[in-house]
């Protein structure tokens, strides 16, 4: 660069012989393995992990039931509610002030329950296929969150921050581990046709490098717009154009080294070019056998939409994508919970059971952590009209059902418990930040070491630290 400024000179020191000497000093003090861990991932950012090299999970499929599924009507039966059904709900003084003044009534589950598998897992009778893989599941009933508002609760579960703007857990995992496939993003999101409440901030990179944000794929039509080049434009033309753009951007970056977003944008252009070759094959399910399509429920109602995305999630982790989040909405059943949950469960039941069985058959379940949860649970009561079948449940941050499968979790166990009416967790009660830390640990990452310097301090997913829930880890 001609006539370098003082700022550019100082920035240039980081790529000079001084940085080489500094790296050598680090190698001596940290050891070669720790230094080797800080290798570049496919998006051009540094990967601090793994911190636990013996961790089994290398990938995560996060099945997000947006809207807040009722634990009482899925995996946490409460016979006591049958005794109390439609009786007026008895509230403490704190509950009285926090809730509306209208009368509220206890609500029993409209579903029956059964024990599934050798582990005796509790499942409502609307789950027809999931019982076949019950012994692969680890249920957790002790998690609590802080918000009863959908957008803030979604942010809390997805980013650790109720107010949004922070990196999502998928971005943290991509930052920590990188992608195994340089031609695909490390974090891919498979939303419904409509985005969840809170929108794309649920899979944001926040203050982490831009390349780590989740890449959403469309549920209908072409998963990614403009994935194919325009008619008459060859790969050679594209390569020449990108090379020229790269040279122009590089000159600009040398003049303005403080603009970090430009480097991420340059990396994304290259990734998009590579994705044009990789994505069409990866996102196609035409090569799947009819038996596989039938197992997932592709092509039939009510499973087709979710089945296609579960099958795609399997293909993505098979290709090396670190974190895949699959959304299903909406479980916000304030009224007619029998009709609402009764329709939602069959739409996801068969695809989820097939996903677990498919990963197991392919030898991928041990290295793939599956998470099933929503943003909160539901209350044992509601402000119903005194009778009939119109009753549902309100939002409940104090009790919820979560389950894990694969990836080193303690399969065949139920950890934690809620009280006799399902109002609050009473055993192994832990904040969602501890659940986040546990997921990171299963993936080989230490929340206390997976940090990023921003706004004057080192930040982490848990916000303020915490402890893993070791009872969930095999």
Mean pLDDT along residues 5-11: 47
Structure tokens at 277: 């070759």
* Percentage above 70 pLDDT, the chain: 77
> Residue 33 pLDDT more than 70?
no
Instruction: Assign 156 a pLDDT band (cuts: 50, 70, 90).
Output: very high
Say if residues 157 and 433 touch (Cβ distance below 8 Å).
no
Q: Which two tokens stand for residue 248?
A: 């122009």
What is the C-alpha to C-alpha distance for residues 247 and 188, in angstroms, rounded to an integer? Answer: 29
Where are the domains positioned within the chain? Answer: 41-229+293-472
pLDDT, one tens digit per residue, over 412-422 is 999 999 999 99
Q: Say what the pLDDT of residue 250 is.
A: 81
Do residues 462 and 156 touch, judged by C-beta distance below 8 A? no
Q: Kindly state the DSSP code that residue 442 receives in the 8-state scheme.
A: H
237 against 427, higher pLDDT:
427
Residue with structure tokens 């099945």? 63
In contact, 170 and 214? CB cutoff 8 Å: yes
Q: How confident is the model at residue 96 (pLDDT cuts 50, 70, 90)?
A: very low
Taking the alpha carbons at both ends of the chain, their separation in whole angstroms is: 56
Each residue of 165-193: pLDDT tens digit? 999 999 999 999 988 888 888 999 999 98
The average confidence (pLDDT) of the chain is 84
In this prediction, residues 436-461 reach a mean pLDDT of 96
**How does residue 34 score in pLDDT terms, banded at 50, 70 and 90?**
very low
Conformation bin of residue 248: beta by default, left when phi > 0, alpha when psi is -120 to 50: alpha
Mean pLDDT of all residues in 247-256: 80
> Three-state DSSP class for 34?
helix
- For the segment 7-19, the average pLDDT, to the nearest whole number, is 41
Q: Is the pLDDT of residue 159 over 90?
A: yes
Which tokens in the block code for residue 296? 């997932």
Residue 122 near residue 77 (C-beta atoms within 8 A): yes
Question: CA 32 → CA 5, 37, 338, 379, distances in Å?
Answer: 35, 9, 58, 53
DSSP 328-372: E-----SB-HHHHHHHHHHHHHHHHHHHHHHHHHTT-STTEEEEE
Confidence band for 51, pLDDT divided at 50, 70 and 90: very high
Whether 397 contacts 147, CB under 8 Å:
yes
What local confidence, expressed as pLDDT, does residue 247 receive? 81
Arch. (CATH architecture) of 41-229+293-472: 3-Layer(aba) Sandwich (3.40)
């Amino acid at each position: 660069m001609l006539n370098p400024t003082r700022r550019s000179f100082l920035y240039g020191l980081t790529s000079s012989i001084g940085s080489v000497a500094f790296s050598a000093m680090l190698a001596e003090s940290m050891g070669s393995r720790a230094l080797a861990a800080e290798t570049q991932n496919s998006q051009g950012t540094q990967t601090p992990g793994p911190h636990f090299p013996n961790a089994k999970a290398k990938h995560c499929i996060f099945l997000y039931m947006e809207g807040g599924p009722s634990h009482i009507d899925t995996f946490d039966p409460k016979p006591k509610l049958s005794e109390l059904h439609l009786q007026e709900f008895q509230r403490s003084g704190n509950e009285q002030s926090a809730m509306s003044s209208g009368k509220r009534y206890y609500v029993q589950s409209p579903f029956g329950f059964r024990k599934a598998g050798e582990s005796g897992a509790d499942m409502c009778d609307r789950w027809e296929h999931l019982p076949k893989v019950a012994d692969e599941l680890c249920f957790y009933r002790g998690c609590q969150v802080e918000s009863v508002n959908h957008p803030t609760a979604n942010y809390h579960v997805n980013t650790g921050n109720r107010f949004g703007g922070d990196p999502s857990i998928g971005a943290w995992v991509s930052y920590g581990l990188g992608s195994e496939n340089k031609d695909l993003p490390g974090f891919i999101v498979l939303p419904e046709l409509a985005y969840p409440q809170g929108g794309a901030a649920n899979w944001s990179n926040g203050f982490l490098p831009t390349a780590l944000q989740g890449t959403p794929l469309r549920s209908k039509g072409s998963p990614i717009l403009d994935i194919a080049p325009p008619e008459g434009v060859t790969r050679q033309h594209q390569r020449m154009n990108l090379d020229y753009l790269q040279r122009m951007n590089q000159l600009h970056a040398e003049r303005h080294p403080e603009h970090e977003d430009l480097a991420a944008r340059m990396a994304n252009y290259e990734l998009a070019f590579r994705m044009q070759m990789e994505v069409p094959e990866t996102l196609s399910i035409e090569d799947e056998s009819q038996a596989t399509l039938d197992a997932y429920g592709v092509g039939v109602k009510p499973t087709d939409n979710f089945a296609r995305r579960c099958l795609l999630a399997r293909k993505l982790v098979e290709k090396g994508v670190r974190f895949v989040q699959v959304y299903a909405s909406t479980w916000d059943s304030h009224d007619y919970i029998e009709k609402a949950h009764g329709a939602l469960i069959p739409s996801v039941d068969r695809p989820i059971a097939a996903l677990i069985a498919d990963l197991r058959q392919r030898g991928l379940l041990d290295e793939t952590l599956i998470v099933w949860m929503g943003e909160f649970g539901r209350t044992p009561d509601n402000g119903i009209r005194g009778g009939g079948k119109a009753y549902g449940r309100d939002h409940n941050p104090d009790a919820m059902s979560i389950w894990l499968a694969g990836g080193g979790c303690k399969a065949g166990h139920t950890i934690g418990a809620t009280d006799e009416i399902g109002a609050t967790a009473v055993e192994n009660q832990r904040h969602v930040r501890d659940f986040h830390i546990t997921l990171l640990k299963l993936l080989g990452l230490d929340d206390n070491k997976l940090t990023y310097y921003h706004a004057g301090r080192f930040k982490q997913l848990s916000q303020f630290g915490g402890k893993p829930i070791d009872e969930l880890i095999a």
